[in-house]
Structure 1
Amino acid sequence: MRPLLTLLIAALMTTNSHAADTATPPDVAKKPHVVRAPHGAERQDEYYWLRDDRRQNPEMLAYLKAENAYVDAYMQRLKPVEDRLYDEIVGRIKQDDSSVPFRERGWWYYSRYETGKDYPVHARRRDVQGLTAEAIQRLNDAGDFADEQVLLDVNALAAGRDYYSVGVYEVSQDNRLMAYADDAVGRRQYVIRFRNLETGEAYPDEIRGVSPNVVWADDNRTVFYVENDPETLLTKRVKKHVLGTPVEQDELVYEEEDDSFYMGVDRTRDDRFICISVSSTVSDEMRCAPAADPREFFVFAPRARDVEYLADHYEGRWVIRTNADGAKNFKLMTAPTEARSRREWKEWIGARDDVFIDGFELFRDFTVIAERSDGLERLRLLKGAGEEYVKADEPAYSMGLDVNAEPETDWLRYGYTSMTTPSTTYELNVRTGERRRLKQQPVLGYDPSKYVTERLWATARDGTRIPVSLVYRRGFEKNGKAALLQYAYGSYGSSMDPGFNLPAVSLLDRGMVYAIAHIRGGEEMGRAWYENGKLFKKKNTFTDFIDVTDFLVKEGYASRDRVAAYGGSAGGLLMGAISNMAPEKYRLILSQVPFVDVVTTMLDPSIPLTTNEYDEWGNPEKKDFYDYMLSYSPYDNLSKQAYPAMFVGTGLWDSQVQYWEPAKYVARLRDLNTSDKPVLFRTNMDAGHGGKSGRFRRYRELAEMYAFALDQLGVAETSMPAK
């Protein structure tokens, strides 16, 4: 075992060339620890001691630094490749870019970037006659900001910080004041601050330990916000703050006692109500109050297990998306303004087995339904008694609602992208059918005609057809020789739709194939797709991914010994599971902030995201769930076998998947792994779940991982396009 002093010395060996040649993976002490379940089950966890909630244990920190030093030493010979990848990725970014402006209450809002700077400038312009979104974009492109009002210059706020993020900003109803929430650690514990937009004055009020969620009442002095539990970090309480009064005197509006629920607060489409929403994996409940006088909140419909709903109010009625009464793929209901129970709801758009209703947006003369069919997104327009669909241009794509702040319009704004088409914002006139392209993400030096996207179907071992989206450079030969990067997520009903991936172009230009496996556990194919990939059916997620790999290799899209798998967070659980179940099928595993210690984490209700995820993974305090989760938990199923090469990443301040999960996983993997393939473990010491802040710094981390991948997959630099 390597003592603490040796670890500290290893942490310093990051630049010496001799160290790069002779570097060996760090080792770390084992310390006996028993993890007990309430039903009597016991497990040995020799690396449990690496957990330190305060992130101060010097022995633990020395180990993480030693792992980083090993990565530095190993990657030294690949630094030129990393640098070139980084230059390529950043070189595609238009640095002085801006978002499409949207209009709200007499102002046009947008964000823009300046050349060489990491963070956005959030700004607005007063709506004057003749000013349009296109006109503002022309002004921004020309660098004309004379009539602009800067709301937040995030570059100035982030100066001198290793991490900084503005989670949200909200302007008061009279357009004079602003509340914003920022995080300077990466742990997603925000501070709400206030600013007068007319004078520039920053108010002394600071509300700490909150989520990035704030809503103004109509009096333009009162805000509602969500306070987090200081230990579990769960959203627990909605409070009311009156600007200029002591924060410690803020009134408690609502407290959620059930730790399986998340919480948020928002305004309805017509700005008539402020609503508190609480949601678990299988249940929802809303409480609303008039925005003009939000003293008493009424329960819109009491919660009931396995009944989910979300309501919005516009033009004198409620519209509700719900799965009540067996509507597995959801339906739309309506209710009068005075409704206070589900008995008063009336069906408007019924549920279908082949269509999943994902959301909706209400307008004065039409309604838009965001839905999924056959694994793809689409937008359905309801106008009077008729309906039509927004057209897509490619066989595999992603389409969804964009910012539509004002409902009194004939124009629908939506986003469109595919694996070959950069993110594009369109406006569609629902009366005339005219479509305008407002903006396409500029990608410097990129020609979409040089790339091809396909939509395939792989057959899983139980006969289920799994959709697969992939992209490659035109001229690719399906001869079974190429290197493949296969990505998936497969949890929480989150769908991984086929959108444009700017960094992946560097892989495609080197002859690689990039594929997204739309495996069970997501919601691409409807609610049943999700339910067949969670709880006691979770293993379908893992076997689907493996079966997609076999399919792509069989069809000639990749060489059997040149397949890389990539996933993060719950997708990191997927990576850990497949590397235990089928290590021989993968040359490389890329795993970011991976959830790999499932049983121990889910046995500890003090850890964020535990209690409110029992309906996703199961509650291991119950033996049947314990046994099933234990049968796939990556950390618990590591064994003496030959594992693929791995690159594992984490953030020291991660509040969603704590750093000690991948740290323990890598330490035990090193003990058991019988292969000579490298395992690299990189800890970002200054960030959390999302990695480094800023638009450029995160690409440095990605370039390092890509350089490692290219080396392991045998992708020669000679195959790169000329600069």
Structure 2
Amino acid sequence: MRMVMRMQSHRASRGVSFVNLVQQLVYLPAVVLSSIGASASITVRASSLSSEAAAASVRMSQSEPPPPPPMAKKVEHKMEMFGDVRVDNYYWLRDDSRSNPDILSYLQQENAYTQFLMSGTKKFEDELYAEIRGRIKEDDISAPERKGPYYYYQRTLKGKEYVQHCRRLIPNCEAEAPLSVYDTMPTGPDAPPEHVILDENIKAQHHDYYSIAAFKVSPNNKLVAYAEDTKGNEIYTIHVIDAETGAPVGLPLVDATSYLEWAGDEALVYITMDETLRPDKAWLHKLGTEQSSDSCLYHEKDDIDHLVVYEREEGLPKVTIYHLPDVGQPLKSLHGGQAVNFLDPAYSVDRSESEFSSGILRFSYSSMKTPPSVYDYDLKTGISVLKKIETVLGGFEASNYVTERKWASAPDRTQIPISIVYRKDLIKLDGSDPLLLYGYGSYEVCIDPSFKASRLSLLNHGFIYAIAHIRGGGEMGRQWYENGKLLKKKNTFTDFIACAEYLIEKKYCSKARLCIDGRSAGGLLIGAVLNMRPDLFKAAVAGVPFVDVLTTMLDPTIPLTTSEWEEWGDPRKEEFYFYMKSYSPVDNVKAQNYPNILVTAGLNDPRVMYSEPAKFVAKLRDMKTDKNIIMFKCELGAGHFSKSGRFEKLQEDAFIYTFIMKALDMVPAQGSGLN
């Protein structure tokens, strides 16, 4: 068993940023910072495009043959560096304003074509969505957390997309008692009434997209500050309200990131970005003053690394409690800690914000067959108490499912972990089972094997689900990440292929039953392996994929590009240029057979511009030699994380699962579909 202490680098990217340094500056508890980006709101207007694709937007009956796919027009655009000339015929698809009528028309035609192809199984998709939604306990609350004289929690209501942020006063007889793992919020008729601080459903009424990324209560429990995004572009507005009345306090803070913290009861710390959307400045805002008069606490002129220590063993997270020496005593190497043990062979553990001065550690545990379970751990006694487990309806029984941890051998003989789950009474393990393999492998991000209720619909249809923990991620420590970035990035792709070949060799599936999935930098993975080994896969899903790597990394005016050079390299240097070109998916599409492919994008996406997946699809359609289907679905009112409502996200899962099952001939086609 190998123990790894991981020193993680955080930066603004398709990953995260410099918040840890700011926390040290203002002595604040840990929070998670989502990186941000920019976009623009648009008015969608119809326009003609010189392409046969217009036919796709015409309403058709299911008895008519499928329309031809949209074929984007070609406009030659030459780019030269180091004597190497590249021609990008689809460069015209990029529009930073998101308002070009020809481009919007093309995206609408792609959506219409996708809608037509999926229309034959819309009934199945709707039934699948109802099945997925039927597992969700729509009216529920999160595990209450005690803070001062209140319990704070979130409530979901039946039929509502968003949460309510609530609190309940602690009875006087309990308010002075110290925090305990046995604390329980009273809910009976004699309990203090529930107070709704903020209802996201009301706030979201006039927006296509709505997200609150931070919700912070002031130390005296009188005020609440929250970061709000109404476009999906991850540029936040920070509001402060009275916790009791909901009345606004002062003017909003605009053009901020999702990070905020209270600095006392009358001031906030927040972060803004530079022109490339890299978080770079921490500000102190005093309530009642203008934002223009805020004090800059820190300006990070260089995108440096900041250290955060995590502990992992064999690629799995570990929770270990250490007792530090008394104040004034030397700090020695930590040893002899008390480990918190977990039963599943593959699992996920997430930390939760806790009262800094308390002796209670709150964490959430789940596995691919165990729903999220919130525990309070007493640091003195070592007692762990389950506070809440997510309710899964629809007759779910964890004992019906099996989780496994396997290891595939990469070309350089590195052992790559794979997490697997399936329903034991539906699987034959003779090569005939359908399998969906997921991968990411970038930014030192750990894709831990956690629970997802909607995934049960795949498992209950006889699927095996697997996660390839490939290099470039952080599952196996810092070196694991280093060996999958910069000039070693191709290890990410060959690791994934090795995992696919292992699953085929061990008869978890066959080439004809293997589907793959990845998002964002994971979409780069999907694009790369499709170019390298398209014969291995029956279908692929590339969600908001980062596929035009070289062109994007050569343009420092694109948001996040300069901060991304530490991940991919700076292609203004010849060595990085040609290495990046050798795997960038758009640059490596060639005349060969490809499997069925679904590509998604968000028009307002600040991390992966919609034009990257659009160009990838256009070039695939132009060059591929097969008759398989390529579908492109672009959300015109969403960003990198797609739609914001909880049920809307379930609809997306149902859509993707239906596409995958159609590709495997597991649902009947009714007038349209995949070959």
Asked if TM exceeds 0.5, the reply is yes
Which of 250, 255, 258 is equivalent to 2:294? 250
Which of 414, 417, 422 is equivalent to 1:464? 414
Deviation at 1:44, TM superposition (A): 1.0
Helix, strand or coil: the match of 2:621? helix
Structure 2: distance between partners of 1:104 and 1:35: 58
Which of 127, 135, 152 is equivalent to 1:109? 152
Structure 2: distance between partners of 1:17 and 1:433: 65
Structure 2: distance between partners of 1:647 and 1:80: 19
User: What is the CA deviation profile of residues 276-321 of structure 1, one whole-angstrom value per residue up to 9, with x for unaligned ones?
Assistant: xxxx4xx23xxxxxxxxxxxxxxxxxxxxxxxx35xxxxxxxxxx4
Helix, strand or coil: the match of 1:186? coil
Going from structure 1 to structure 2, the CA distance change for 1:577 and 1:20 (only over 3 Å counts) comes to farther
1:407 aligns to 2:407 (yes or no): no
The residue that corresponds to 1:150 in the other structure is 196
Helix, strand or coil: the match of 1:510? coil
The residue that corresponds to 2:313 in the other structure is 373
Which of 90, 110, 114 is equivalent to 1:67? 110
* Contact 1:3 1:28 survives alignment (8 Å): no
Helix, strand or coil: the match of 2:646? coil
1:213 aligns to 2:259 (yes or no): yes
- Which residue identity is paired with 1:216? W
Structure 2: distance between partners of 1:563 and 1:138: 50
- Which residue identity is paired with 1:206? P
Helix, strand or coil: the match of 1:697? helix
Matched length: 606
The residue that corresponds to 2:218 in the other structure is 172
* Contact 2:54 2:70 survives alignment (8 Å): no
Structure 2: distance between partners of 1:144 and 1:643: 64
Q: How does 1:15-34 map to 2 (within 5 A)?
A: 15-18=59-62, 21-34=65-78
Structure 1: distance between partners of 2:237 and 2:383: 44
Going from structure 1 to structure 2, the CA distance change for 1:533 and 1:477 (only over 3 Å counts) comes to same
The residue that corresponds to 1:241 in the other structure is 285
The residue that corresponds to 2:604 in the other structure is 653
Structure 2: distance between partners of 1:190 and 1:20: 46
Which of 451, 467, 475 is equivalent to 1:524? 475
Deviation at 1:202, TM superposition (A): 1.3
Helix, strand or coil: the match of 1:62? helix
Structure with greater proportional strand content: 1
- Which residue identity is paired with 1:522? G
- Which residue identity is paired with 2:241? R
User: What is the CA deviation profile of residues 553-577 of structure 1, one whole-angstrom value per residue up to 9, with x for unaligned ones?
Assistant: 1101002211001000000000000
Which of 83, 86, 111 is equivalent to 1:43? 86
Going from structure 1 to structure 2, the CA distance change for 1:533 and 1:6 (only over 3 Å counts) comes to closer
Structure 1: distance between partners of 2:538 and 2:53: 32
TM-score (norm 1): 0.80
Structure 1: distance between partners of 2:555 and 2:193: 54
Helix, strand or coil: the match of 1:89? helix
- Which residue identity is paired with 1:398? S
Structure 1: distance between partners of 2:603 and 2:493: 27
1:594 aligns to 2:545 (yes or no): yes
* Contact 2:56 2:116 survives alignment (8 Å): no
Whose relative contact order is higher, 1 or 2, with alpha carbons under 8 Å and at least 6 apart? Answer: 2
Q: How does 1:435-450 map to 2 (within 5 A)?
A: 435-445=384-394, 446-450=396-400
* Contact 2:181 2:384 survives alignment (8 Å): no
Structure 1: distance between partners of 2:441 and 2:155: 33
Structure 2: distance between partners of 1:521 and 1:396: 19
1:712 aligns to 2:663 (yes or no): yes
* Contact 1:7 1:66 survives alignment (8 Å): no
* Contact 2:151 2:185 survives alignment (8 Å): no
Q: How does 1:496-575 map to 2 (within 5 A)?
A: 496-575=447-526
User: What is the CA deviation profile of residues 324-352 of structure 1, one whole-angstrom value per residue up to 9, with x for unaligned ones?
Assistant: xxxxxxxxxxxxxxxxxxxxxxxxxxxxx
Q: How does 1:592-631 map to 2 (within 5 A)?
A: 592-631=543-582
Deviation at 1:534, TM superposition (A): 0.6
Deviation at 1:210, TM superposition (A): 0.8
Structure 2: distance between partners of 1:564 and 1:145: 52
1:454 aligns to 2:387 (yes or no): no
Deviation at 1:401, TM superposition (A): 2.4
Deviation at 1:236, TM superposition (A): 2.7
Task: Point out the more displaced range, 234-243 or 574-583.
Answer: 234-243
Deviation at 1:138, TM superposition (A): 6.5
Which of 539, 564, 584 is equivalent to 1:633? 584
User: What are the ranges of 5 or more consecutive residues in structure 2 without an aligned counterpart?
Assistant: 1-46, 325-334, 670-675
User: What is the CA deviation profile of residues 452-503 of structure 1, one whole-angstrom value per residue up to 9, with x for unaligned ones?
Assistant: 1111111112111111110111122111111110001000111111111211
The residue that corresponds to 2:376 in the other structure is 427
Structure 2: distance between partners of 1:580 and 1:7: 26
Structure 1: distance between partners of 2:667 and 2:603: 34
Aligned alpha-carbon RMSD (Å): 2.2
Helix, strand or coil: the match of 1:680? strand
* Contact 2:181 2:377 survives alignment (8 Å): no
Which of 221, 224, 232 is equivalent to 1:186? 232
Going from structure 1 to structure 2, the CA distance change for 1:435 and 1:253 (only over 3 Å counts) comes to closer
- Which residue identity is paired with 1:214? L
Helix, strand or coil: the match of 2:249? strand
TM-score (norm 2): 0.86
Which of 75, 79, 85 is equivalent to 2:122? 79
1:484 aligns to 2:527 (yes or no): no
Deviation at 1:145, TM superposition (A): 8.9
- Which residue identity is paired with 2:377? L
Deviation at 1:377, TM superposition (A): 1.3
- Which residue identity is paired with 2:522? G
Structure 2: distance between partners of 1:127 and 1:44: 67
* Contact 2:121 2:668 survives alignment (8 Å): no
Identity of aligned residues (%): 43
User: What is the CA deviation profile of residues 185-211 of structure 1, one whole-angstrom value per residue up to 9, with x for unaligned ones?
Assistant: 000011111212244321350221110
User: What is the CA deviation profile of residues 109-152 of structure 1, one whole-angstrom value per residue up to 9, with x for unaligned ones?
Assistant: 1111011000000112233334788876673xx89996223221
Task: Point out the more displaced range, 685-694 or 22-31.
Answer: 22-31
Task: Point out the more displaced range, 656-665 or 376-385.
Answer: 376-385
Going from structure 1 to structure 2, the CA distance change for 1:604 and 1:706 (only over 3 Å counts) comes to same
Structure 2: distance between partners of 1:194 and 1:19: 56
Deviation at 1:408, TM superposition (A): 2.5
